[in-house]
Amino acid sequence: MRSLVFLLLTLGALPVIAAETLTIDRLFEDPALSGPSPRLLKLSPDGKRVTFLRGKSDNQTVFDLWEYHVPSKQTRLLVDSASLTGGAEEQLSDAEKARRERMRIAGTSGIVEYQWSADGKQLLFPIAGSLYVYRVDARKDPVKALTQAADGFATDPRFSPKGRYVSFVRDATLYAIEIDSGSETRISPAGSGTVSYGMAEFVAQEEMGRFSGYWWAPDDSAIAYARVDEAPVAVEKRFEIHADRTDVIEQRYPAAGKANADVRLYVRKLASEEAVEIALGDNRDIYLARVNWLPDGKALLLQRQSRDQRTLDLMRAEVASGDSAVIHTEASDTWVNLHDNLKVLDDGQSFVWSSELGGYQHLELRAIDGSLIRPLSSGPWVVEDVLAVDQKLRRVYFSGNADDPREKHVYFNSLDTTAPGSPTRVTLYNGWHEAVFSDDGKVFVDTFSNENTPPQVRLHEAGGKELAVLEANKVEDGHPYHPYLESHLAPEFGSLKAEDGQTLYYRMIKPLGFVEGKRYPVLIRVYGGPHVQYVQRSWDSRWGLFDQVMAQRGYIVFTLDNRGSARRGVKFESPIFRRMGGPEVADQMVGVRWLAEQPFVDAAHIGYFGWSYGGYMTLMMLAKHSGPIAAGVAVAPVTDWRLYDTHYTERYMDDPGRFKAAYDASSLFPHLPGLKSPLYLIHGMADDNVLFTHSTQLMAQLQQSGTPFDLMTYPGGKHGINQSPAVRKHVFNAIANWLDRQLRVKGK
């Protein structure tokens, strides 16, 4: 009841609102429909300021730096990005373009990342390759330039832990600037050719969630950095076709079964010019997954993943000698998922760790030698992220889904717990919570939403008590979504059973003006791949609003999370091992058959739409089940897993040299003769993730077999095809209009 009352207060008084339906164009126009939602929220070290990025009111893709001052309860603009760029279009280096694509922030500009200094007196941020600091207490000219892009494009900047230095990578080389003196020091050898220093390699950025290649010692005395040599990686020559030119790109792309980059790890003390190489083992064909320092700065904790990803070794490495030893190993018959939940306690004698050995990711407390002290959580649910450790109160705060697999909440347990299966929930309202804690674990900023409530931001004590509302974001008069509120359609949630008896959750939106006894066409929006969950009780400003548009056009919009999807544990994820395109398709067909039995569904007009892995799923659904599937839109699809990268593909499909039959079965091409229903194929012509080759091979096969299909390609389009709002409008209008024609909906 509390959640219902809360929602009604949030949405406002419905009867007085003039009904207006959404359009594709409005999704990509300013101001943003979801309201002034802050992003990249951070707490200052003293907890008195909450900083965040906010898009400009007239251009939601250009971000400025803001703060909420807790004592005064005032929100103010700190840095207007246009004041530093003059409003000119930013020129990014190729490395930075690729990094932003990997971080899924391509298409944004202005201040897209920033960091607090340890003393809370400065904020560091880059703009277009130049580095700046904002001095909190400066009464005049608070913004100071540290480097200029004209001297070389600086990327991945960071304050050192004690705040004496700012480090960054320029021209594949790691540097540090002493802030007080302005003295610049080259930390690594100079990068050149295929060798870079301090940078994460392609698969680390794209698949491992590691976007950096260097790590400061806690006392500022040294930096550990990666040396990456891409010489072993095969060169993939591809064309990037733009509107006014064609670039021939020689990209070193590590395709499944082929060689990876050679990655080594060094530590250099700033007082010395010599670097010590850290021993990673005799087998060089491994992944350097994570690097952490111990509090005393004398040793590192490394995570080394085997090439087949079925083993993850936690290693201790001595900085002085470079010697290392394995202190703990996670192993699996399928794969071991990576995580960022290693937190070493201040005494250096124990650490928090995540493990899936019990079937669900849960927390453990381990001694510094790797031995288990006690489990910190347990049960048929998933811990996602360690958010904070309050070492005085002996509490660990974490996010997870103990209450509902479709929700996300903040919980805590004692580091001394004897009841790991009974965490204390901190967050109040049912739905989705993204939390950012202060360094001491005393307060946190919570971004809350659910399927009918745009994101709202509040400051809380660690125990849950509300301290301040930073962004109420009420959908009332003046809010961008207010004109469309009466037409908003609340999703319905339900569940079905997979062939092995596991629960499959779905989300369904019935059309605007739904009439009992009438049958409606269905659009099934799919992803279906690992590490993604679509069926959530959250506000989705991209896909969720597109779903609203399509439902308001007359569709039933349906989404089902098949086996292999995230946040459900090992048993739910692992059926796709060496079987991609098998269990996922079977589960999607459970949803299709259920829909066809419903009295409100026009079973002859069920269509699919998916992007990336969702594009692959759309193609597999059409190839295997063109009978019940009337049409499908596949955007940037994988068509043959042999063409995709090592770390992602081999995790789920193993070695293509040893398991040829598995790769054949998971490829689209053996199933292609079954593709009879209409297909709309879309791909960006500069995609460096799912290479355009996936689609060109498909085009050739369809043409050879005489199979008709529709095609749209986007000059200059990367994987997200997000060059501009105009292009985004074109993509989604083209998709919606094509579906209208195929599924017999009168478009609006």
pLDDT tens digits for range 712-745: 999 999 999 999 999 999 999 999 999 999 998 7
- Which amino acid type is present at position 662? A
**Could you confirm whether 196 is annotated as catalytic?**
no
Cβ-count burial 719-738 (b if 16+ within 10 Å, e if not): bbbbbebebbbbbbbbbbeb
- Annotated active-site residue in 640, 687, 688, 740: 687
List of residues 6+ apart from 203 with CB closer than 8 A:
254, 260, 261, 287, 645, 646, 647, 648
* 183 flagged as catalytic: no
* pLDDT reported for residue 248: 87
Work out the mean pLDDT of the chain and round it to a whole number: 94
Q: Which of 351, 540, 391 lies closest to 452, judged by CA?
A: 540
Residues 6+ apart with CB under 8 A from 259: 232, 233, 234
Per-residue pLDDT at 9: 40
Q: Which residues in the chain show pLDDT less than 70?
A: 1-18, 746-748
Mind listing the domains of the chain with CATH numbers? Answer: 491-743 (3.40.50.1820)
- Contact (CB, 8 A) for 322 and 340: no
Q: List, as one string, the DSSP characters of 249-316.
A: EEEE--BTTSPPPEEEEEEEETT-S-EEEEP--S--SEEEEEEEE-TTSSEEEEEEEETTSSEEEEEE
Q: Of the listed 306, 377, 719, 740, which one is catalytic?
A: 719
Res 11: pLDDT: 46
The C-alpha atoms of residue 483 and residue 17 are separated, in whole angstroms, by 7
Give the rounded distance of the alpha carbon of 280 from its chain centre: 28
pLDDT of residue 746: 66
pLDDT, residue 76, reads: 95
Q: For residues 310 and 742, what is the distance between their CA atoms, to the nearest angstrom?
A: 44
- What is the model's pTM? 0.94
Cα 304 from Cα 292, distance rounded (Å): 12
Vertex 249: Cα angle to 245 and 250 (nearest 5)? 160
Give CA torsion, residues 135, 137, 139, 142, to 10 deg.
10
Which of 109, 449, 574, 612 is an active site residue?
A: 612
- Residue 724, amino acid: S
Please indicate whether residue 612 is annotated as part of the active site. yes
pLDDT of residue 748: 44
